Amino acid sequence: MIFAFGRHRIDVERREVTNGGTSVHVEPQVFDLLICLLENRDRVVSKDHLMNSVWGDRIVSESTLTSRINAARKAIGDNGKDQRLIRTIPRKGFLFVGDVKTQEHNSAPATAVAGQVAANERASAVAAERRSIAVLPFTNMSGDRNQEYFSDGISEDIISALSKLRWFLVIARNSSFLYKGKSVHIKQVAEELGVDYVVEGSVRNVGNRVRISAQLNDVATSSHLWAERYEGSLGDVFALQDEITNSIVAAIEPQLYAAESFHAERKPPNSMDAWDLVMRAMSYYWRVTRQDNFVAQAFLEKAVAIDPNYGQALGLLATSHAFGTHMGWEDMTTAIPIAERASRRAIEIDSEDPWAHNALGSVYLWARRLDDSLAEFEVALQLNPNFSLAQGFYALVLTYTGRWQEADAAVRRALRLSPRGPFSAIYYGVAGYAQFTGRNYEEAIRMSREAVRERSDFTGALRVISAAAGMLGNHELAATSLQELRRTQPNISLAWIADQIPWNLDADRDHYLEGLRRAGLT
């Protein structure tokens, strides 16, 4: 079936949208949403109907639906203001109001075929710009063929999870599993699949325990970038499989960025393209220092100058400015508007980029729009459930809304995903503040000390230690932690804290300020 309206044609079988014969890039969910509206154009389609049609049993937020509606309008030359084709019916849903003609697919003109060829060529060009990775089927070392399902399941889950990293092309299972049971060198795999990185591993059962080894290989340098071993009980085999998969993917992601930065640094300056600049920026961003954050921003600004429509560069640029505000490295009145413009533009370009939604969530946090902030972090986590950074800041917003138990669960998940990552100090700090909000002062001190152990200059954790010590009446600890806090943040005061932190509940603000007041802060 082909739907035609104005200069637009939507070919259902080829899953193609064209405008005057020119192919229009449309994401799969946006295409499905358009088809649902067109097939039901004689009536108003409710939000529930749309969500069920496009996402099935998957739970999505209103923010996600809104972003897909906006993308659908953009794809067919409409917008939210004019609503010439897709009209919002308040409290009812959406209605396609364009004059639509239909024709069977076998009568489609040659321009549609030509458009598909052009679209395929463009898709191939885009794929070629991305670095690629293959996950080989993990070897079952148990000597029991009945355990093949477990080793295969680990490999399949890693492929699915890595596929959510939009910056890398992940080879599909059907291709990588051709090597199952075969002894092949990773160089051969790389040449035959056309990949830059290969993940391989093994699974061994010993009694009621399972041991899984995994490693990430850089084909270009013939080196192991990362290797780790995991062990657990087979009591709940599927929960163990999920936990190990999440751990492997969370560990692989920063290693890929670091490797890409290494390759970029070896190129002469005049050959640097936007991708290389973003990879170098990512490497600096993960170092989590004031100076490195500014260096990352400089690389990202160059990337955007080369390609103003590079959504991933804009998403990371927005994240770096929002994080700079959180750490006190940048002035909020200057950094947040930059972050907001960049994140909104990134979402407009690619609504499924989790970094862009993570950045906008941070923007809303400091704009004191906490419900909107939570919604954006939820979208980021739906797009990439292994995104530990979004998980950690989602927990922070939950604490500011008074939902400290949910915050504690969220931040502990961030720590499980990235227990030794560059942001783990931040996550421990959030965990400490969540416990303080719950009046668990000893645990708040313990978690915050972990944060300070990893980053001695982390003012947020020092504030929590001071406040918790104040509430416990531990004058010695309160005095020493407050002294260190003043050293790292000379301008600290009760007034500054009251003005900067976006609490949703007055009781939480008063509780925090009272702890700091008892510690001796004025």
- Which DSSP state fits 56? T
Question: Where does the pLDDT of residue 395 fall: very low under 50, low under 70, confident under 90, or very high at 90 and above?
Answer: very high
Average pLDDT over residues 156-167: 72
CATH tag for 267-385 (out of 1.25.40.10, 1.10.3480.10, 3.65.10.10, 2.40.50.140) = 1.25.40.10
Report the first-to-last Cα separation within the chain, whole angstroms.
Answer: 71
Query: What is the reported pTM?
Result: 0.60
Residue that wins the pLDDT comparison between 409 and 234: 409
Radius of gyration of the chain (CA): 25
Per-residue pLDDT, 271: 44
Q: What fold is seen in the domain 130-236?
A: Rossmann fold (3.40.50)
CATH architecture of 2-126: Orthogonal Bundle (1.10)
Task: Tell whether the model's pLDDT for residue 115 goes beyond 70.
Answer: no
- Residue 244 φ then ψ, to 5°: -70, -40
62-100 pLDDT per residue, tens: 777 887 898 899 889 898 888 889 988 877 889 998 888
1-60 pLDDT per residue, tens: 899 988 899 988 878 888 887 878 787 788 889 999 998 888 889 888 888 888 775 666
Q: How many CB atoms lie within 10 A of CB 230?
A: 18
- Which DSSP state fits 17? E
Please, where in the chain does CATH 1.25.40.10 lie? 267-385, 388-522
* Domain 388-522 listed as CATH 1.25.40.10: yes
Output helix, strand, coil percentages for the chain, rounded to the nearest 5: 60, 15, 25
Task: Tell whether the model's pLDDT for residue 344 goes beyond 50.
Answer: yes
The total number of residues shown for the chain amounts to 522
If we measure between CA atoms, which residue out of 422, 426, 448 comes closest to residue 437? Answer: 448
Please, where in the chain does CATH 1.10.10.10 lie? 2-126
478-508 pLDDT per residue, tens: 999 999 999 988 888 999 899 888 899 999 9
Q: 187: alpha, beta or left, given left = phi > 0 and alpha = psi -120 to 50?
A: alpha
- Tokens representing residue 91 in the block: 């409290």
Strands (E), 20-175: 22-24, 86-89, 93-96, 101-103, 131-135, 139-140, 168-170
Please, where in the chain does CATH 3.40.50.10610 lie? 130-236
